[in-house]
Amino acid sequence: MIEREFVESYAAVCRELELDYDESRRLWREIIKQIERVDAYLPDAETATEAEILEACDKLGVPTFQALGREIVRKREQPAARSFTGVTRDDRGRVAELAGQFLAGA
């Protein structure tokens, strides 16, 4: 029963936030990371009560599925990162042109 609710909650967040296939997989991996954190925190995760699990989640600051999904959406909305140097092909052409002018004048 709990597993079914877990999967239904995950699916509902994916639908609500309109996550694409890769984003929904990313959300699943983030959820698994949080489960592993809680599992490592609990002395005996196999026999832990729901109250102990919830307390561990609170102490560890485990975000909700919704919060994890919103973080994925936020990353989607960020502009694409530029290359490491921040130099584009246009910039490289301009640098080559300036270098040619400099060397011609030398």
Residue 29 lies in a domain: yes
Nearest to 41 by CA among 59, 27, 29, 28: 59
Residue 100 lies in a domain: no
Residue 86 lies in a domain: no
Structural domain boundaries enclosing 25: 2-79
Residue 25 lies in a domain: yes
Residue 91 lies in a domain: no
Per-residue pLDDT of the chain (106 residues; tens, 9 = 90+): 568 888 899 999 999 999 999 999 999 999 999 999 999 999 998 999 999 999 999 999 999 999 999 999 998 877 665 555 565 666 667 777 777 777 776 5
Residue 60 lies in a domain: yes
Residue 89 lies in a domain: no
The CA-CA-CA angle for residues 70, 76, 77, to 5°, reads 90
CA distance 84 to 87: 8
Cβ neighbours around 39 below 10 Å, total: 13
Q: Give me the number of domains the chain comprises.
A: 1
pTM of the predicted structure, to 2 decimals: 0.68
